[in-house]
Amino acid sequence: MFNKRVKIKELLSTEPQGQEVTVMGWVRTFRNNQFIALNDGSTNNNLQVVATLGMLNDETQKRITTGASLKVTGNVVASLGKGQKLDLNATSIEILGDCDAAEYPMQQKKHSLEFLREKAHLRFRTNTFGSIFRVRHSLAFAVHKFFNEKDFLYLHTPVITASDAEGAGEMFRVTTLPFDNPPRNEDGTINFKEDFFGKSTNLTVSGQLEGELAATALSDIYTFGPTFRAENSNTTRHLAEFWMIEPEMAFYDIEDNMNLAEEFIKYIIRHAMDNNREDLEFLAQRLAEEEKQLPQDKRSDLGLIEKLEFVLNNAFERITYTEAVNILLESPAYKKKKFQYEVSWGVDLQSEHERYLVEKHFKKPVIVTGYPAAIKAFYMRMNDDGKTVAAMDILAPGIGEIVGGSQREERLDKLVQRMEQMHIPVEEMSWYLDTRRYGTVPHAGFGLGFERMVLFVTGMTNIRDVIPFARTPKTCEF
């Protein structure tokens, strides 16, 4: 009967009145043959279990090692020590699972994030990753809460797709054909008619196009699921498998879209601030300690909590691409030739430019709109100037692009024209173009990379540290 146990988070918030409880968890430390710091993952705070001297035989005492799992029953009393409010005076200690201390890789010391990345299971036992994954959960929960409150439908778009026209990136092929001897056409190419789906298929790079189909019937939908990119990207901001949130709304223009995105980001941050204060404070402290190693000019101006509060309390800066280019051209950095890449109208903003706008010029999140059509996707709505599209990117300090969205081109003729210009196979996309044939409406949507959001909120700097099992080039161990 395990359900009668009390979680440590709950227990630590109660008043010590000698009440009997049962707890279960893993040993963090065992001090002085008397004091067991027990953790069950519900909070970073450990419960101090007190085993009075003599209550344990020698053999049991030796088996209480860092990492071992215990079931402890005892009485909750006010602690005589200074480090904690209450103790659990044990009346029985049962070892559920032994942990050989000589082999256990986790020690009572600080471990590097690189080392922990190799210990898929045990990194969950650390305070840092405990906090990160509790915050991650909280943000995910807030995503659903926000959209549910706004009457959006959670739409499940497919993981396997045949669409190869989105241009969002390199795709992972899905096939059941044999590698050594696949069926071939007369011209030597592989005959995908014999493949499982009778055509070439891939893992999805975005649920947007499917989302548009639903939104132009159900009004407001959002997706939240895994997305795959086979790009050979080796950076602290990219994963081969990541989670993306993609709302799509009928009867929305670009302005409505920006308002929703800003409100959404603030809502989920607020939710984490309200529900994960302890974890965020722990992560703030971790970040502050890490930044002590850095030279003065590389450190953040604000602590993690202050940064999040600042984002909540200030409107995102909204500028057009044209204004952004002008700001860059007039910046001291440009005049001193500090930029490595060219700045001119028509060229996409580089990381260094985005960083300058966000971190140096405005010092807050920035929404850039009205990008040149030539550097954006086919489905974005052409503005009246005939040169720019109704696109918007939200740039966040330290991370860069966190949201990419647009008002969609709802005019069939203009959309087809654009697709032809960009060599997108119009016939294959007929199912998509139906949305513009039968009662088309202005609509808009955006995509938000969930891990980038978790990075921003936790103050972590490597995206591999905010997903439980990172998938990156050359790494798929667990």
Partner RNA sequence: UCCCGAAUAGCUCAGUUGGUUAGAGCAUCUGACUGUUAAUCAGAGGGUCACUGGUUCAAGUCCAGUUUCGGGAGCCA
3-state secondary structure of 25: strand
Nearer to RNA, 84 or 219 (CB): 84
The rounded distance, in Å, linking the Cα atoms of 258 and 246 is 13
Cα–chain-centroid distance for residue 435? 31
By beta-carbon proximity to RNA, the closer residue of 242 and 252 is 242
Is residue 256 part of the contact set for RNA (CB under 7 A)?
Answer: no
Closest C-alpha to 260, from 139, 383, 143, 432: 143
- How far is Cα 405 from Cα 447, in angstroms, rounded to an integer? 6
d(CA 257, CA 267): 15
367 near RNA (CB under 7 A): no
CA distances from 210 to 217, 227, 230, 350 (A): 12, 14, 21, 30
**What residues contact 246, with CB distance under 8 A and at least 6 apart?**
206, 207, 208, 211, 222, 223, 224, 445, 446, 447, 448
**What are the structure tokens assigned to 458, written together?**
């936790």
Nearer of residues 73 and 275 to RNA, judged by Cβ: 73
Bridge-based pairing state of the strands 220-228 and 153-154: parallel
Tell me if residue 62 falls in helix, strand or coil. helix
Pick from 14, 17, 33, 259: which binds RNA (CB under 7 A)? 33
Give the per-residue contact string, 402-421, with RNA (x = CB under 7 A; - = no).
Answer: xxx-----------------
Pick between residue 192 and residue 424 the one whose CB is nearest to RNA. Answer: 424
User: For RNA, which is the closer residue by CB, 31 or 137?
Assistant: 31
Tell whether residue 7 is a contact of RNA (CB under 7 A). Answer: no
Please list every residue from 334 through 353 that binds RNA, using CB under 7 A. Answer: 341, 348, 350-352
Going from the C-alpha of 264 to that of each of 224, 270, 313, 433, 448, the distances in angstroms are 14, 10, 14, 29, 10
**Ranges within 385-404 binding RNA (CB under 7 A):** 400-404
**Minimum CB distance to RNA, residue 236 (Å):** 4
**Binding map of RNA across residues 53-92, x = CB under 7 A, - = no contact:** x--------x--xx------------xxxxxx--x-x---
- Quote the least distance from Cβ 377 to RNA, whole Å: 7
- Determine if 439 is a binding residue for RNA (CB under 7 A): no
Q: Are 66 and 30 contacting, i.e. CB atoms less than 8 angstroms apart?
A: yes
The correct pick among 14, 236, 259, 421 for binding RNA (CB under 7 A) is 236
Q: Is 474 a residue that touches RNA (CB under 7 A)?
A: yes
Our finding on whether 430 is near RNA (CB under 7 A) is no
| 231 is an interface residue for RNA by CB under 7 A | yes
Residue from 16, 41, 169, 303 that binds RNA (CB under 7 A)?
169
> Which range of residues in 29-37, 279-287, 356-364, 380-388 is near RNA by CB under 7 A?
29-37
